[in-house]
Amino acid sequence: MSTIVFIDTRGKKIPKAATEAVTYAHQLSGGPVTAVTFGDATGLEALGAYGAGKVVVARGVNTVDGQQLTKLVVDVASDQDAKNVVCMHDATGRSVAPRVAARLKAGHVAGAIALPEGDLIKRNVFSGKARSWVKVSSPVRVISLMPNSIAPEQGERTATVEEYSGDLGEPRIALKEVRKAGEGIPLPEAEIVVSAGRGMKGPENWGPIEELARLLGAATACSRPVADMHWRPHHEHVGQTGIAIRPNCYIAIGISGAIQHLAGVNQSKVIAVINKDPEAPFFKAADYGIVGDAFEVLPKLIEAAKKLNAEH
Amino acid sequence: MKILVLISQVPDTTARIAFTNDNTSYDTSGVQFIVNPYDEWYALVRGLELKEANGGSVTTVTVGTADTEPTIRKALAIGADEAVRIDVAPVDALQVAEQIAAFATDKGYDLVLAGKETIDYNGSQVAGMVAELLDLPYVPLASKLDIAGATATVERDVAGGVEVLEVQLPLVVSASKGMAEQRIPNMRGIMAARTKPLNVVPAAEADHVAATARFELPPPKGTCKMIPAEDAGQLIELLHSEAKVI
Ligand SMILES: Cc1cc2nc3c(=O)[nH]c(=O)nc-3n(C[C@H](O)[C@H](O)[C@H](O)COP(=O)(O)OP(=O)(O)OC[C@H]3O[C@@H](n4cnc5c(N)ncnc54)[C@H](O)[C@@H]3O)c2cc1C
């Protein structure tokens, strides 16, 4: 079945979520797929390793305009007579996939977490408290893939790279400025997350949280009240009304584990909880637990992480 | 400025999640419904703030049957001027978007606001589809929105930073955290909401291209392995050698 995959490769290197999306498209089609992208990234041939036979790139287009990108995707889809259009479920994917679906009158599975079983595709619903199986009845399917849902699979091939020659028109949305975040790892893509809650007592106590995260190569996150009190930036807020993440490892420190918090993190592969209250609800959702005072436990974790880094 | 806010009804955040009819439908028995928090706290409140600053009106639109009206009244109590209910049960995102687009077309809205996703189906789809159907620019996941004349300045968090975007109205925006602060309706608002117009419009023709075939609950968690606080460092070793996640 003809399958194309739309990825955002702006920036210096191809993001991991893009390699996941190409892998997904490749496994879905059972053969080489056409990857569609834009901007000036070099080294796109390398997408062949994940299953792209061909990469169509709109050079010089560094747009944030979903309408231009929709035209790009729809043009390649019709050129290839695509039956599946795979996207990433990131900011770019969210501005393009629904538009492509509406244009093609295609059923859209947003936030797929696995390859289809028969004609059913699995996704999270109720903020991670349940899953649903979606069946698409239109001739074309649009599937947006959640990050960390499939392991990127690398082979030996390289892809041919072709420049898109159509006209995408003028952008209606202009990018005025990008304010770079600090050093850290972006939370939605992080494989390890160190998260802290109101149990940390105040923003001045985040030093050891950041140090532990740095040592583990982790992103930092927080509970809602912590962001509401401006102890930490809003983009760190995870949960039902913040962002939902699914890292391999989520370490929660001084967070009670309210149902709305769990909703955003219960897809994590392994959860470790540090809380001084043995009755904290978070322990029921955890794989590893420590009942203890964060201020005594953190130095021990930092010491152990330093030791681990020294050994490996 | 004419503002349209998309309002969806969702189960309360603490509602029990269970399924009936052989796991094909969500069990609503005993469930309290609320305005989707992203629609209410961020999209609606920012819409009201913009109206307060620039004049104009805020209309809400909901695709749903009559049982959504108590939820719609809550949005009116927070301050919307009028509400519209499109009288059909929502089935899939494209169908909902087509209903909203059919209603909104030719009405001259300067700004269409929605929450970044609903907390039940988490699709993040409807606003983008509405934008496509109305041929409008769309910015998803906005954390800040300012309007000066006909120009909107929008910020959103992306991997690695914050993007600042500029767009001419009319425009569709989906709102995430940071856009506004939650407003609690007061008694006057609740009283006024009873008499504000809630217009019911008939459904238009729409496509049905996706359906939920069944639901499932995640498998229960195994037991939690406890580590004594004195040996806290062991956690790091276990995460490395046993769980193999660090
Ligand atoms: C509609 C709605 C949506 C919501 N959405 C979200 C959401 O998206 N994300 C979210 O996080 N919350 C959300 N909430 C809030 C949620 O209900 C909880 O109030 C919140 O998660 C609690 O944050 P917390 O665990 O940091 O704080 P608390 O509940 O105050 O818990 C602090 C924890 O730290 C422990 N502690 C204290 N001191 C120490 C110490 N020295 N060492 C170790 N442990 C210590 C305590 O035992 C306690 O368990 C939402 C609520 C509502 C009503």
pLDDT digits (tens, 9 = 90+) for B135-169: 999 999 999 999 999 999 999 988 778 999 999 99
Mean pLDDT for A174-196 is 87
Does residue B105 form part of some domain? yes
First-to-final CA distance of chain B: 52
- Please give, rounded to a whole number of angstroms, the shortest distance from the CA of B195 to a CA of chain A: 31
Surface of B (139-168) touching A: CB under 8 A:
139-141, 143, 153, 156-168
Which of A201, A226, A255 to mutate for ligand 1's pocket (most ligand atoms within 8 Å of CB)? A255
Task: Flag if B153 and A176 touch (Cβ within 8 Å).
Answer: yes
Cβ-nearest to B210 among A90, A134, A242? A134
* pLDDT surpassing 80 at residue A223: yes
Chain center to CA of A277: 32
* pLDDT surpassing 90 at residue A189: no
Does residue B228 form part of some domain? no
Taking CA atoms, what residue in B is nearest to A187? B159
Taking CA atoms, what residue in A is nearest to B229? A292
Give the pLDDT confidence score for residue A312 in this predicted structure: 83
Does residue B118 form part of some domain? yes
Chain center to CA of B97: 13
Angle, CA of A141, B142 and A61, to the nearest 5° = 65
The DSSP symbol for B141 reads: E
Nearest ligand 1 atom to alpha carbon A255: 25
Q: Are strands A107-112 and A141-145 parallel, antiparallel or unpaired?
A: parallel
Nearest ligand 1 atom to alpha carbon A226: 26
pLDDT band for A63, please (50, 70, 90 cuts).
Answer: confident
Domain A187-311 is classified in which CATH homologous superfamily?
Answer: TPP-binding domain (3.40.50.1220)
A225 lines ligand 1 (CB under 6 A): yes
* pLDDT surpassing 80 at residue A184: no
* pLDDT surpassing 90 at residue B13: yes
Give the pLDDT confidence score for residue A109 in this predicted structure: 98
Task: Flag if A133 and B213 touch (Cβ within 8 Å).
Answer: yes
| CB neighbours of residue A275 within 10 Å | 26
Does residue B149 form part of some domain? yes
Task: Flag if A173 and B210 touch (Cβ within 8 Å).
Answer: no
Element (H, E) at A29: helix A16-29
CA of A277 to the centre of ligand 1 (A): 13
A198 lines ligand 1 (CB under 6 A): yes
pLDDT band for A110, please (50, 70, 90 cuts).
Answer: very high
Q: How many domains does chain B have?
A: 1
Q: What is chain A's mean pLDDT, rounded?
A: 95
Would the pTM of this model clear 0.90, i.e. be above it? yes
Residue nearest ligand 1's atom 17 by CA: A258
* pLDDT surpassing 90 at residue A242: no
The reply to whether A65 touches chain B by the CB within 8 Å rule is yes
Does residue B231 form part of some domain? no
Give the pLDDT confidence score for residue A13 in this predicted structure: 82
Task: Flag if B211 and A285 touch (Cβ within 8 Å).
Answer: no
- Please give, rounded to a whole number of angstroms, the shortest distance from the CA of B135 to a CA of chain A: 8
- Please give, rounded to a whole number of angstroms, the shortest distance from the CA of B220 to a CA of chain A: 9
Cβ-nearest to A304 among B94, B163, B236? B236
Mean pLDDT for B59-67 is 98
Angle, CA of A189, A214 and A202, to the nearest 5° = 95
A266 lines ligand 1 (CB under 6 A): no
CATH architecture of A3-163: 3-Layer(aba) Sandwich (3.40)
Q: Strand locations in A47-102, DSSP E?
A: 52-58, 84-88
Task: Flag if B225 and A186 touch (Cβ within 8 Å).
Answer: no
Does residue B240 form part of some domain? no
Does residue B206 form part of some domain? yes
Domain limits, CATH 3.40.50.1220, in chain A = 187-311
Mean pLDDT for A167-174 is 95
User: Cα separations (Å) of A159 from A56, B43, B60, B174?
Assistant: 10, 43, 48, 36
Cβ-nearest to A259 among B13, B212, B225? B13
A9 lines ligand 1 (CB under 6 A): no
Cα distance between residue A91 and residue B18, in whole Å = 31
Tell me the per-residue pLDDT of B173-231, one tens digit each, with 9 for 90 and over. Answer: 999 988 999 999 999 999 999 999 999 999 999 999 999 999 999 888 889 999 999 99
Looking up residue B106, the CATH number of its domain turns out to be 3.40.50.620
Q: Residue B120: which domain range?
A: 2-218
Give the pLDDT confidence score for residue A183 in this predicted structure: 65
* The two structure tokens encoding residue B97: 């978007």
Give ipTM to 2 decimals.
0.95
Domain limits, CATH 3.40.50.620, in chain A = 3-163
